[in-house]
Chains A and B, each alone.
Chain A
Amino acid sequence: MKKHRTRSTRLRTSRLLAVVLAFGLIVAACASDDDDDAGEAPAATEAMAEESMDESMDDESMDDDMDEAMDEAMDDESMDDSMDDAMMDLSGTKVTVFGPESSEEEAGAMQDALDVFAAATGIEIVYTGARDFSDQINAQAAGGNPPDIAVFPQPGKVGDFAAENWILAVPDEVQAAIGSQWPAGSLDTVTFGGTLYGVPNKTDLKSIVWYNTEIFESGGYSVPESLTELQILTADMLADGVTPWCVGIESGPATGWPFTDWMEDLVLRVQDENVYDQWVAGDLPFADPRIVGTAEFVLELWNLPGAVYAAGGSIAATPFGDNGEPLVAGDCAMHRQASFFAAFLPEGTSVGPGQTIDVFYFPAVAAKGNRPVLTAGTYVSAFRDAPEVWAVMEFFGSAEYANARQAAQAARQGGGQSGFLSANLNQDLSLYNDLERSFVEILQTASPARFDGSDLMPAAVGAGTFWTEGTSAVNGDKTVAEAFAAIDASWPQ
């Protein structure tokens, strides 16, 4: 009897041990997950940065360019001043920055610029970029696990986050330090209820068309001065057997945003800024004939047989970044995309007046005599209240950051078009090339200038149904009227 009991006990013991072992493994697996989050992601970023550094090392002249630019930025006296304040005792602290810019050029240049500040202060600053930032930051914030600083491409989202009390108001000292460095009104888009919640990071100019100068030359086409001329140009090219446009609106979970940009540019042109403002604010429904008409105008242009080269088989299936290669290869003549598109052109493409690829201003309606410009930009907001975080925030708002990033991004692009644009008033414009200075000029002569509407709309629309329903309309799954009625229904009450 006793023997029997011992055996069954032993059996039970070994079974329980197995369970314990399994439990231990699970706990360890969870622990290593944490390690992944905390250790490996930044390590990977670093490795990537190092790798790209190595690459640029191969090209000595480029390396020199970069060093020079960095030195220049470092030598700047005002920078030393601002660093003296921050230098106090911040070495050894760590600040994480998370944003949507994930290409090697953009994310790498951002890290390079932040490294300048890190080297001066001893703060370890780690930037991580993700293509689906918009989704991830929501999950991180809602889950109580946000980065220290996030780069928001949508001021509307900064407002949402401020309303949730997820992000912190920018303290008066920081506001005082950066306030005078930005054009009047540029901080208004991230000011909610009289409180500033963000610091500008970069500016994008959206109302421009990239074009293949070789096609324009050989076909005898000239840059259109009005929207009508643009339509005539499209028709001429079609008649000559040239594919006028490259269009692609695929962008993972954000698929559809290039369509919203076209919409906004054309509402500003065919309608006017008052209609635009009402529409963005939700006072004018999407179902309004003026808005529906604009969408139909866009889709009619895109759906002209042979008018669009879509590298992915159809407009809705073509990633927005895949339009650079066919534009350079001559598969299409024009591509309407923001100033950052330079970063998506194949390496070594010569860009600028008289080069392979040049840019013209997306023309307005001649009769109106105005020069509307659509802009966008990213803003940084802080999640953690700590001196090192505010020091980095202040750095983002400074001319030193703009200069360092401009230099680094230009160097990473092989010394050409950087794709980075800042509206900082104190920045060193000599770091820009001719084309980029012409962007700044377009920005300065804009009348009126408007911020990207979908980025100002509530997230449910601006980062939700405007994208998804817009994509349905582009793909022909729905009519514009059906799609836009669905957007109106989704507008938060």
Chain B
Amino acid sequence: MGALGGALIGVVIAIGASTALFFGANWLFDLAVDRWRTFLATSGALVGALIGAVIAGNDVAGGPLWLWAAVCAVVGAAAGIAASVLGTPSKSSRTRLSERGRLVTFLGPSLLFAALGLVIPLIRSIYLSLLDSRAAEWVGLANYGEILTNPNSLDLSGWTEIFTSRLFYAALVLIAVGLGIGMAVGRRRGRTMEALPGSIGPIAIGLFVLSFAVFTTLRGTVINNLWWVVVVTGLSTALGLAAAVLADGVRGESVAKSLIFLPMAISFVGAGIIWRFMYIARPPQKPQTGFLNAIWVWLGSLRPRTGGAWVAVLILALVTVLLAGLCAFGVKRRQTAFAIGAAVTAVPVLWLIYRFLGPGLGGSVPGPTGEPIAGTILFLQEAPFNNVWLMVVLIWIQTGFAMVILSAAIKAVPSELIEAARVDGATERQTFWNVIIPTIIPTITVVATTLIVLVMKVYDIVKVMTAGNFGTQVIANEMWQKAFTELNFGLGSALAVVLFLAVVPAMAFNIRRTQRADA
């Protein structure tokens, strides 16, 4: 209660002081134009009172503060009146003084705070990054060299394995499929390459998978950060866009969007703890308390060709039949994309059926006596994919953000544009891809750049869930660890500067965009 009361009093005082400054300064500089002598006397008194307060406050001389302030104010006022005898400047120069005075009074404090809170610490960090761990001796760029050469922060030695990973070949196939579709459709329309969902989709997914192939083989803190940026930015934006489009104009839109937006209200630390419970694994002989491992182990308990598995297969078979029907329906109606979608969805279902009939699915490993026992997934300990499980947390939080912004942008697309497209005979899908998407591209860029900046600085989630162990370290957590756990301020500052430099392009791009939009 005391803290709340104190805070309220603080609010009142702060608002009062700011309001007084606002009206006082406006009044004072109005005086400068209209009544020069009063202006000089008042500003003299103010400056005098300030000097008096500084003298008494710093114990330069004895006596109560109010006395010093009052005496100096009178002296200042007298000096101001005396100065006015010397003459009054021309009206134009008085106006200029008034304008500049306002500028300094209103801009000064914020510039001062920006300098104290941002600019000076930045310069100091850059300076510290060139010193050794105890901030004593000049070491030049050695700290930056350390970041680039330490295998924990950048390890490119495994690059040849990119070309032997399964992900790499999956990516190649997807990109080839996308290019193939694009070129096939393009040839029919007399172009080399046609950009349409059927071609761009596989290529985008292929590039995404390719990035996984790269990021799982090249390791280190810096690589992890890049991986975070690619995956979280990409998936949050894509899922947010999908949610915005699919929920648009549907009944229950607000409920659905609220649910997706809800995780935004949870702090990163809170989300980290929640998801740690989702991922938790217990010894195989104990009941699993983690949600995901409980499901995984339950799946594993459905042995191939047992009662439970047959039930599962039966359900999955029904789903397959349903999907096949949908596919046939699509082919008949010449809805190619619809048919392809149904067919693609059937692939994982068929895979599940295969696992239930054949080798078995889920967490189970042969025990010491050959009898199968539960096998758990150590989501947070098994590198390198533990990184992805951490990213899921941030995607879970940020999808809501992307969805809200993109949804607003979609609703702001002028209906004239859409109607014009309809009149020209565009289908729903063509309207979306060729009218709505190009119109909201600026918003998508803003969402993506904002996310890049946010993801680059990811810290809390990693700190809470793995503390940077098991190959999940990111730059921000490494920075904290180096500077404050290991007391290596040089290296910590260098990491801070690296993070800053990595964020700057995205920030600059974002700000320029906003400025252009305003102008």
| B307 interface contact, C-beta 8 A | no
A313 touches B283 (CB 8 A): yes
| A139 interface contact, C-beta 8 A | yes
| B10 interface contact, C-beta 8 A | yes
User: In the complex, how many angstroms separate the beta carbon of B242 from the nearest chain A beta carbon?
Assistant: 34
| A391 interface contact, C-beta 8 A | no
A20 touches B7 (CB 8 A): no
A464 touches B481 (CB 8 A): yes
Contact status of A463 and B486, CB under 8 A, knowing A17-B19, A17-B22, A311-B283: yes
A31 touches B7 (CB 8 A): yes
CA A464 to CA B473, docked complex, whole Å: 13
In-complex Cβ contact of B14 among A24, A459, A471 (8 A): A24
B378 touches A313 (CB 8 A): yes
Which of A160, A331, A486, A492 lies at the interface centre, i.e. has the most chain B CB atoms within 10 A of its CB? Answer: A492
B residues less than 8 Å from A21 (CB atoms): 15, 18
B residues less than 8 Å from A163 (CB atoms): 134
| B178 interface contact, C-beta 8 A | no
Which residues of A, 239-267, contact B by the 8 Å Cβ criterion? 252-253, 255-256
- Mark each residue of chain A from 6 to 50: 1 if its CB lies under 8 Å from any CB of chain B, else 0: 000000000011001101110110011001100110000000000
- Mark each residue of chain B from 1 to 31: 1 if its CB lies under 8 Å from any CB of chain A, else 0: 0110011101100110111011000000000
A32 touches B7 (CB 8 A): yes
A residues less than 8 Å from B489 (CB atoms): 142
A35 touches B463 (CB 8 A): no
A460 touches B488 (CB 8 A): yes
A35 touches B6 (CB 8 A): yes
Contact status of A31 and B6, CB under 8 A, knowing A20-B15, A20-B18, A317-B380: yes
B469 touches A305 (CB 8 A): no
CA A463 to CA B282, docked complex, whole Å: 28
User: In the complex, how many angstroms separate the beta carbon of A273 from the nearest chain B beta carbon?
Assistant: 27
Contact status of A142 and B381, CB under 8 A, knowing A28-B14, A312-B281, A313-B283: no
B residues less than 8 Å from A492 (CB atoms): 133, 488
A residues less than 8 Å from B485 (CB atoms): 134-135, 138, 253, 459, 463-464
B residues less than 8 Å from A20 (CB atoms): 15, 18-19, 21-22
B133 touches A316 (CB 8 A): no
CA A199 to CA B486, docked complex, whole Å: 23
B484 touches A142 (CB 8 A): yes
| A306 interface contact, C-beta 8 A | yes
| A294 interface contact, C-beta 8 A | no
B22 touches A253 (CB 8 A): no
| B387 interface contact, C-beta 8 A | no
B281 touches A39 (CB 8 A): no
B487 touches A459 (CB 8 A): yes
- Mark each residue of chain B from 479 to 498: 1 if its CB lies under 8 Å from any CB of chain A, else 0: 01101111111000000000
Nearest CB in chain A to that of B488: its residue: A460
| B370 interface contact, C-beta 8 A | no
In-complex Cβ contact of A472 among B19, B282, B469 (8 A): B469
Contact status of A486 and B381, CB under 8 A, knowing A40-B3, A135-B484, A312-B280: no
B residues less than 8 Å from A135 (CB atoms): 480-481, 484-485
| A53 interface contact, C-beta 8 A | no
| A128 interface contact, C-beta 8 A | no
B residues less than 8 Å from A472 (CB atoms): 469-471
A residues less than 8 Å from B383 (CB atoms): 477
CA A255 to CA B471, docked complex, whole Å: 14
Contact status of A312 and B282, CB under 8 A, knowing A253-B463, A459-B487: yes
A27 touches B10 (CB 8 A): yes
B281 touches A314 (CB 8 A): yes
User: In the complex, how many angstroms separate the beta carbon of B467 from the nearest chain A beta carbon?
Assistant: 5
A331 touches B3 (CB 8 A): no
In-complex Cβ contact of B22 among A16, A138, A489 (8 A): A16
B381 touches A475 (CB 8 A): yes
CA A492 to CA B491, docked complex, whole Å: 12
| B129 interface contact, C-beta 8 A | no
User: In the complex, how many angstroms separate the beta carbon of A164 from the nearest chain B beta carbon?
Assistant: 8
A23 touches B467 (CB 8 A): no
B484 touches A138 (CB 8 A): yes
| A309 interface contact, C-beta 8 A | yes
B residues less than 8 Å from A255 (CB atoms): 467, 469
A460 touches B486 (CB 8 A): yes
Nearest CB in chain A to that of B284: its residue: A313
B470 touches A313 (CB 8 A): no
Which of A164, A309, A317, A477 lies at the interface centre, i.e. has the most chain B CB atoms within 10 A of its CB? Answer: A317
CA A460 to CA B146, docked complex, whole Å: 14
B residues less than 8 Å from A138 (CB atoms): 483-485, 487
Nearest CB in chain A to that of B480: its residue: A135
Contact status of A35 and B3, CB under 8 A, knowing A28-B14, A316-B381: yes
Which of A27, A28, A305, A309 lies at the interface centre, i.e. has the most chain B CB atoms within 10 A of its CB? Answer: A28
A468 touches B468 (CB 8 A): yes
| A113 interface contact, C-beta 8 A | no
| A310 interface contact, C-beta 8 A | yes
CA A163 to CA B381, docked complex, whole Å: 37
Nearest CB in chain A to that of B11: its residue: A28
B18 touches A489 (CB 8 A): no
User: In the complex, how many angstroms separate the beta carbon of A255 from the nearest chain B beta carbon?
Assistant: 5
Which of A252, A460, A486 lies at the interface centre, i.e. has the most chain B CB atoms within 10 A of its CB? Answer: A460
**Sample of 10 further A-B pairs with CB below 8 A, known A20-B22, A24-B11:** A20-B15, A23-B14, A138-B485, A142-B489, A164-B134, A255-B469, A316-B381, A316-B470, A460-B486, A460-B488
Sorted nearest first, the 9 A-B pairs with minimum C-beta distance are A313-B281, A24-B15, A28-B11, A24-B14, A31-B10, A32-B7, A27-B14, A464-B486, A460-B486
Q: Could you show 8 A-B contacts with beta carbons less than 8 Å apart?
A: A20-B19, A32-B10, A138-B485, A305-B368, A310-B283, A311-B282, A313-B376, A459-B486
B residues sitting closer than 8 Å to A (CB atoms) are 2-3, 6-8, 10-11, 14-15, 17-19, 21-22, 106, 133-134, 150-152, 280-283, 293, 368, 376, 378, 380-381, 383, 463, 467-471, 480-481, 483-489
A residues sitting closer than 8 Å to B (CB atoms) are 16-17, 20-21, 23-25, 27-28, 31-32, 35-36, 39-40, 134-135, 138-139, 142, 160, 163-164, 252-253, 255-256, 305-306, 309-314, 316-317, 331, 459-460, 463-465, 468, 471-472, 475, 477, 486, 489, 492
